[in-house]
Each structure stands twice: as C-alpha cells, then as structure tokens.
Amino acid sequence: MNDWVLLLVIFVSVTSLFYLISKGVMRKKKTNERIKRFIPQAIAVTEVKEKQKNETFRKWIGSFAKVFSGIQFSQKTKKSLEQSGSSLKAEEFFVIRILSAVTVAGVLYVLGVPWFVSILSLWIGFIIPGIYITIKARKRIKLLSYQLVEALGTMSNSMRAGFSFVQTMQLIGKEMPDPIGPEFDRAVREIGMGIPMETVFQSLLERLPNKELEVVIQAILAQRKSGGNLAQLMDTMEDTIRGRIRILEELKTLTAQGKLSSWIITALPLVMGIYLYFVSPEYLEPMLTYPLGWFLLVTGTISLLIGWFLIQKIVRIEV
C-alpha cells in the first residue's frame, strides 16, 4: 500500500512540475511574440543579442577546433552538416560531440551512477549531436517539398512577367525562407561566378537530396537542351508535386496507426520491466539472476527489435 501511495505522490509531483514549467515557457513565448509584433525595434535588439551569443560560442568552439584541423573527417559528416543547414565545420562539430559526451558522463557520475555506466554514456553523449543533426537535416529536406510548390508558382509568374530564369532564382533566394531561399541564393552566386549550371544543380542536389527537387532540376536541364516554354513546364511540375504531396499526406494518415502501434508494442515491455523493477523487484529478480532469465531477456529483445523493424518496413511506403 505504501508503494502505491509513494508512486501516486511521485506521479502527481512530476506532473505538477511539468505543468508549471510548460506554463511558464508558453507564457514567456507569448510575451516575446507580442513584443516582436508591436515593437519592431525589439526584434532587431533580440537578433543582435542572439547573433553576439552565437558568435561568442562559435569563437570559443573554433579555438578548440584548431587542435583537430589536420584530421580528415568523413564525407558523411560534412554532408550531414550541409544538409542540416549548419554553418559548423567538421572539426567544430567534432568538438561539440566531445563536449556532449563529457557533459553526459559527468552529469551521470555526479548523480551517483556507477563509473562503468558513466563510461558507457560517453558513447551515448558522443552520438547525440549526430542524431540531432540527422533529424534536423531530414526535417529541412522534408520542408523543401512544401516550399517547392510555392517557389515554382512564383517562378512561373515571374517568367511570364519578363524575368529570366536566373532572375527568378534570385527572387526566390531573397524572398523565401530556409532551406530553399539560402540554397537558391547560393546557386545564383555560383552561376554568377561562371560555374556551369549543371554543376551548380548537382551541388544543390547533394546539399538537398529531395526527390521533388531532383525531378524539377532534371526537367529544367532537359528543357535547356531541347527548348520549350519554361513557364508552362513549371506550372506542370507544380501540379505534379502538389499531387505527390497530397498522396504522401494521405499515406501518412493511413499508416499513422501502424507507426503508433510499433512504438507502443516496442515500449510496453520496457515500461513493464522498469515498473516491476521498482514496484516488485523480488518478482523480477529471477529474470536478472538466472541464466534462463538472461536467455529469455536476450531472446525477447531480439524479437522486439525484429518486430519493430518489420512493422516499420510495412508502414513505410515509397511514392
């Protein structure tokens, strides 16, 4: 009975703390939004302060990164940084990964975690920045598909108004946000430096490996060789990409239940194991102390991972 009361108190305390923190964060966010909306000068001041903080942090990281300037990093790391839109160099990112590993291990050691677990956490802390960059790159590339529809419509209307193709790219680079705006602006600058357009577009695809963008670039390059109405071609590509996005959204809705089921099925045994470990450790003890229990744990873990990968493969439909 005392265990249930303790669990109830912990649950209420954690929930209340999370609510208070969330409420404070949302209140601060709304206040900043109102300040930015009604006081334009505050926007400039905030941006300057953030820029100064970023520059200070960048200089501090750069001073440590000089030690690793002679190391040859993998192309995968450099591509991930480019695809995520990060301005960090490979050696600067390596310093951040080292700091993350040391921080995670240090925090766990201070909390009283055994030393061998802290050493294992060095690897976990080292890969966390890489996971963050990968997720950021995926979101950025995914956002490009939605921006591309609007960009094609703008470019088509601009060319009908008498703009050249490079001028329309320059317009998109100035008017649209990241990722398509800065990337198109960079492409225009490379074209202005005399780099062939095929090479510029190939570099653009390496920085943004998006299927919709690849279709658009291939169509533009083919039109440059064969000729034709480029504005009409962009209208056609806009309709095609819009339809493709609509199909992807429908597939996402249809497979949402399967994806949620995979996470629930995978997390349920882990949650139950943690729950039994704290509530009734003597009940779980044979599973952790006998060879048969170890065998069942290993077999269950492997089966759980296989099931998760199979469900993910079923619900992941390529379009």
pLDDT of 45 over the 80 cut: no
pLDDT tens string 4-20: 666 566 666 666 666 66
pLDDT tens string 86-130: 888 888 888 889 999 989 888 888 877 777 777 888 888 899 999
Domain assignment of residue 220, given as a range: 144-249
Q: How many domains, in total, are found in the chain?
A: 2
* Same-domain check for residues 231 and 274: no
- Let me know if residue 15 belongs to a domain: no
* Same-domain check for residues 228 and 266: no
- Let me know if residue 111 belongs to a domain: no
pLDDT of 42 over the 50 cut: no
Which of 219, 249, 279 marks a domain boundary?
249
- Let me know if residue 257 belongs to a domain: yes
- Let me know if residue 311 belongs to a domain: yes
CATH number of the domain enclosing 171: 1.20.81
* Same-domain check for residues 166 and 223: yes
* Same-domain check for residues 275 and 244: no
Q: What is the DSSP string of the chain?
A: -HHHHHHHHHHHHHHHHHHHHHHHHHHHHHHHHHHHHH-HHHHHHHHHHHHHHHHHHHHHHHHHHGGGTTS---HHHHHHHHHTT----HHHHHHHHHHHHHHHHHHHHHTT--HHHHHHHHHHHHHHHHHHHHHHHHHHHHHHHHHHHHHHHHHHHHHHTT--HHHHHHHHHHHS-TTHHHHHHHHHHHHHTT--HHHHHHHHHHHS--HHHHHHHHHHHHHHHH---HHHHHHHHHHHHHHHHHHHHHHHHHHHHHHHHHHHHHHHHHHHHHHHHHH-HHHHHHHHHSHHHHHHHHHHHHHHHHHHHHHHHHH----
* Same-domain check for residues 278 and 181: no
pLDDT tens string 223-270: 888 878 888 989 999 998 998 888 888 888 888 888 888 888 888 888
**Per-residue pLDDT, 43:** 43
- Give the percent of the chain with pLDDT over 70: 84
Q: What is the pTM of this model?
A: 0.70
- Let me know if residue 237 belongs to a domain: yes
- Let me know if residue 153 belongs to a domain: yes
